[in-house]
Structure 1
Amino acid sequence: MRPIAQSFSVPYEYKLHFTKDLFNVGNPLFKDILNAYKTNESIKLLFIIDDGVSENHRDLLNAIVAYCRSYRQHLEHTESIVIKGGEHCKNEHQEVERVLKAINDRHIDRHSFVIAIGGGALIDMVGYAAAIAHRGVKLIRIPTTVLSQNDSAVGVKNSINLFEKKNFLGTFAPPYAIINDIDFLSTLEQRDWIAGVAEAIKVSLIKDKTFFEDIENNANGLHVREMEPMQNLIYRCAEIHMHHIAQGGDPFESGSSRPLDFGHWAAHKLEQMSNYGLRHGEAVAKGIALDVTYAYLIGMISEKILKRILDLMERIGFDLHIPVDSNQEMDELLLGLKEFQEHLGGELCITLITDIGKQQNVNTIDLEVMKSAVNHLNTLCQLT
């Protein structure tokens, strides 16, 4: 018998909204987003909230209840669960089970919504739980950090960590919507304010020289927490990220090329080696700095371009030193290349740059040169 072949395509659409004071009853955006899904019907909502967000925004839980009560014809608040944020929630599988239990106990079905409010790690974990419950319940992401608003929450990936490997378990499941509320940024620690800028520098280096120049021109304002340049940075970074997902031809990463992970092979390993004491964005900054130093040593970019990139990241406030103090630690760091290849599948594919705004994939990394890159970068850091 001949094989039976069938192909199909499924269109996806989701929107990234920008607002302020989202759960003020005078702001109809949240209600309108849900009303667009089911007009004039009440929709069950389960809220999962990062503990850091609830601690810094003391009125949030009450504001959510009051908002849902005010729009009770459209919104049914079932429960708000506060979960410890940060990488902890991706490392501990019981947090996923806690979300899944709430989905079950509160009878959240495929026409209900899980609302994730927090940083990138919590949104990753909650998105994973929502994607596997009932083969997928609807998710709205409300990211509360720079990094999650401009990068991690605007994509289609969800994940948790396992076997001491970052994002070992995961799904591709686009959210129904993402809502960026600028008010959440005002209470960020300086480390978290700065960390998200690394992802913007990343996309500018591989895709948009003009964006890189804009970040350079606003580096001082970004460092001292001026809100307007940060809003513009978040908007442009998210726009490039979402455009890449749609236009890159591989939104679910079936191939091995993943340019949006520029600098990430080292970043993921450095996070693990620091026992996640490094913020993701801090590790990404170090990973980018290492890979552009490697690109310089193999002749892909000039010394002028290298210094320009490193200078920008240091002006923003990043510590670019690679914390490797022994041959054993160096070997452990370089193991990240193998783990990155295993995660992608197929042959090794690392994104480097040939100029600001121009990327090039390579399939081999000279380990001795990469060791030299670590040492060269650390020497440059000592000179500044």
Structure 2
Amino acid sequence: MKILNVELGDRSYPIYIGRGHLEDKKIITRHIKTKTICIVSNTTVSKLYLENLKNILDGYQVVEAIIDDGEEYKNHDSLNHIYTKLLENQCNRDTTILALGGGVVGDIAGYAAASFLRGIPFIQIPTTLLAQVDSSVGGKTGINHLLGKNMIGAFYQPQAVVIDLNVLKTLDNRQISAGLAEVIKYGLIWDKDFFKYLENNIENLKQKDFEHLGEVIYRSCEVKAKVVSEDEKESGIRAILNLGHTFGHAIENCLGYGEWLHGEAVGCGMVLAARVSLVHGWLTESEFDRIKNLIFQANLPIEKPNISYEDFIGAMKLDKKNKDKDIYLVLQQGIGKAIVTNNYSSSALAEVIKS
């Protein structure tokens, strides 16, 4: 087992990374100080892990709140379902929410925890690669709106993040690839040596080699923990974690939530961001090709879907990073370094979106 810490003063918390954690009562209950537990999961994950988790929670009152599976269900209806289960079971502040699932479950369960009775504790138990390396860490919680992704939410940190590598066995290839998009992101924004490691080991990662997966999960969480510790509420450096997301969220919004997985949209978004960077001379042709090729080798899309320029740019205008109606982008200044800027050519952006 490896343990990382997200250093946020009195809101600091550990990330446990290892195998078999979902069957280890000591790890699961170490950060539970309440008598009641509400397990939030979805219809897919609950069939795999819910009963096992309930079996090790003897001595607690356990409430279940199961939502439908998919990005299209990350909405107010699903959130209200969780509230209803909490209220029906007379849950109070002596309740801890366990988020058992991928990014959708983690985000919506975290927002339920942040807002129910103005805040109750929660623990992240991510079951997808994408959630393990990204969305479970950092305290971003929320739901989607028809007009924009993740536009409603709160910064609310968990008590702990419990990552069990064994759950990755049940993921299909598409889900693994979606998670690899966020892994590649860390190499692009922070660590060029890590990017090189991914280039050399992408086939092992796609084949779910646990030694290599453990390494990339640890390094990804290590980078994110450092960035979040420096900038919890995204007033500065944390925004670089959104590389590819301004484009990716526009793709998800325009196609309809759930048509592309979040990681697929981010993968394509990183190619688009790299192309804008290339046009400005901030990336070399060789660097651009390396980025595009690694994303392609991860079985992620590298071409924008058929969305009109007007719809695409309209969705980008709803991005949370924007200020004074300017679209702010995360762009590359070489592999391993990213910036957040509105100082780019609008015609170059238009050309990339239209191409």
Deviation string, structure 1 residues 340-379 (Cα, Å, up to 9, x no partner): 2x55444543221111112233214433312332466xxx
Q: Corresponding residue for 1:11? A: 10
State the number of aligned residues: 346
Residue identity in the other structure for 1:18: I
Match of 2:39 among 47, 55, 59: 47
* Contact map agreement 1:297 1:373 (CA 8 A) in 2: no
* Contact map agreement 1:209 1:356 (CA 8 A) in 2: yes
* Residue 294 in structure 1 maps to residue 292 in structure 2: no
Of all paired residues, the percent bearing the same amino acid is: 29
Residues 1-384 of structure 1 mapped to structure 2, 5 A cutoff: 11-24=10-23, 27-34=25-32, 38=33, 43-55=35-47, 57=48, 60-69=49-58, 72=59, 76-91=60-75, 93-247=76-230, 250-254=231-235, 258-276=239-257, 277-324=259-306, 329-340=308-319, 344-346=322-324, 347-374=326-353
Residue identity in the other structure for 1:146: L
* Contact map agreement 2:331 2:339 (CA 8 A) in 1: yes
Gaps of 5+ in 1: 1-8, 377-384
Do the aligned partners of residues 375 and 32 (structure 1) sit closer, same or farther apart at CA in structure 2, a change above 3 Å counting? same
Aligned to 2:306, the other structure's residue is in SS state coil
User: Distance in 2 between the 1:370 and 1:233 partners?
Assistant: 32
Residue identity in the other structure for 1:351: V
Q: Corresponding residue for 2:5? A: none
Do the aligned partners of residues 324 and 191 (structure 1) sit closer, same or farther apart at CA in structure 2, a change above 3 Å counting? same
User: Distance in 1 between the 2:229 and 2:9 partners?
Assistant: 13
* Contact map agreement 2:228 2:238 (CA 8 A) in 1: no
Gaps of 5+ in 2: 1-7
* Contact map agreement 1:90 1:125 (CA 8 A) in 2: yes
User: Distance in 2 between the 1:95 and 1:371 partners?
Assistant: 36
User: Distance in 1 between the 2:239 and 2:294 partners?
Assistant: 24
Residue identity in the other structure for 1:316: A
User: Distance in 2 between the 1:256 and 1:335 partners?
Assistant: 25
Deviation string, structure 1 residues 185-228 (Cα, Å, up to 9, x no partner): 11112111110111111121111111111111111111222222
Larger Rg: 1
Could you tell me how far 1:283 is from its partner in structure 2? 0.3
Do the aligned partners of residues 271 and 200 (structure 1) sit closer, same or farther apart at CA in structure 2, a change above 3 Å counting? same
User: Distance in 1 between the 2:127 and 2:54 partners?
Assistant: 19
**TM-score under structure 1 normalisation?**
0.84
Q: Which moved more, 1:76-85 or 1:197-206?
A: 76-85
Could you tell me how far 1:286 is from its partner in structure 2? 0.4
Aligned to 2:293, the other structure's residue is in SS state helix
Residue identity in the other structure for 1:310: K
Structure number with the bigger relative contact order (C-alpha 8 A, sep ≥ 6) is 2
